[in-house]
Structure 1
């Protein structure tokens, strides 16, 4: 789980015995790799003899978690759906892993998010996270709460699914005031928005700052606010 790898590496660097191929932060992280987050090499994981494997409900598969538990390896599963929930989960996790106190980056993250104030009515936004098929942020997502705290109203926040798959025509019919295009997990580009959503401003944002919960939380409000304030206008 890239977010948790970064959080542990920044706080307790000697604690990591392995990471997935997708764990790209911090730069230069030198630990054994165990494959992808969706299909890890479980034999490789077991060979590293970890005291605990950190997992996430959305990023990792239940069957892999069950296989590790069956092999006698404890797992710690995270599932933050709000900014405050993420901050609490991170604090509890790092304490349980042996951190003597909250790291400076976590203190800074609490301060950054506590200082936000909503000004004016929220802008109605669409947040695609994939295309072919189109997938958007729906109900109860961490990224959705990030945007809410930044003064945006997700048009699919009350949908019955967490990641709905509407058609492009339906998305256009929602009449968004802004389309938010993260650069991960699907790598949207600045040209995608004007092509797919003609006449609607589109903001290309950092997926890491929108969806990761770890040290990036400290700078996420400022980074995302700047990106949201400079949309590409068709």
Structure 2
């Protein structure tokens, strides 16, 4: 089956499962040794259907959180749309895709996801942060909440309603509460002095702005954003290793 994947997390996961991915977005960068030979047909928010049709795919893979609804409406070939917004929904979608592609590797990954869900939630230590890359400022207290930042100018955070939020929760971190429905709220950093700040390495390149962050005086760290947000193979392996 020839697949065009418009979801970076799924592209990596399908390739590791041995599925024939013939088209991808420019953000599908893993595994690097495999994607370099796969045609780029656009990004997660826009696509050239002419390029897609040239590849003669049997299926286009979309996700409701990653791709706009219009992409599904305009898709000229058969498509499958997942909806991953938590570890629980990831596990269910892995089963669904495993059955759809008749693929044992995806079914095994679904079992791994279920194992992760059944593991006890650990007590979070602010000085031992999973996915840690570099300190902005070492915490001086035992924070009860974390503020996970994905963008600057304006500052944007994630809520517990997101996949990242579910990962943080599974790792024992209490995410700052935001009004219901605000998945990626725009915030003022100074409004959250009692939260430990976790600056994601993507999509905003916080790791390259570490000197600017240190000047803010906030306590927290740079974390590997791929570990928290790439919801297929990558984050399941991250959670398995962290929770073992």
What range is the shorter-chain TM-score in?
Answer: 0.7 to 0.9
Q: Once the 2 structures are TM-superposed, how far is the Cα of residue 38 of structure 1 from its aligned partner?
A: 1.5
Indicate whether 1:130 and 2:135 are aligned.
no
Indicate whether 1:218 and 2:217 are aligned.
no
User: How many residue pairs are counted as aligned between the two chains?
Assistant: 216
Deviation per residue, 1:105-152 (Å, 9 max, x gap): 444444344324232797311111111111111251110011011111
Tell me, yes or no, if the aligned pair for 2:94 and 2:106 is still in contact at 8 Å: no
Indicate the SS of the match to 1:119. coil
Gaps of 5+ in 2: 1-6, 125-141
Map of 2:79 onto structure 1: 75
Indicate whether 1:204 and 2:222 are aligned.
yes
Q: Residues 1-234 of structure 1: matches in 2 within 5 Å?
A: 1-13=7-19, 15-29=20-34, 30-68=37-75, 71=76, 73-100=77-104, 102-119=106-123, 123-167=144-188, 171-189=189-207, 190-196=210-216, 198=217, 200-221=218-239
Indicate the SS of the match to 1:19. strand
- C-alpha distance in 1, partners of 2:54/2:198? 42
Indicate the SS of the match to 1:118. coil
Deviation per residue, 1:140-190 (Å, 9 max, x gap): 1110011011111111344441111123xxx32222331011111111124
Computed over aligned residues only, the root mean square deviation of the Cα atoms, in angstroms, reads: 2.4
Indicate the SS of the match to 2:80. strand
Hey, which of these two has a bigger chunk of strand by percent?
2
Taking structure 2 as the reference length, the TM-score comes to: 0.79
Q: Once the 2 structures are TM-superposed, how far is the Cα of residue 60 of structure 1 from its aligned partner?
A: 1.4
Taking structure 1 as the reference length, the TM-score comes to: 0.82
Tell me, yes or no, if the aligned pair for 2:14 and 2:21 is still in contact at 8 Å: yes
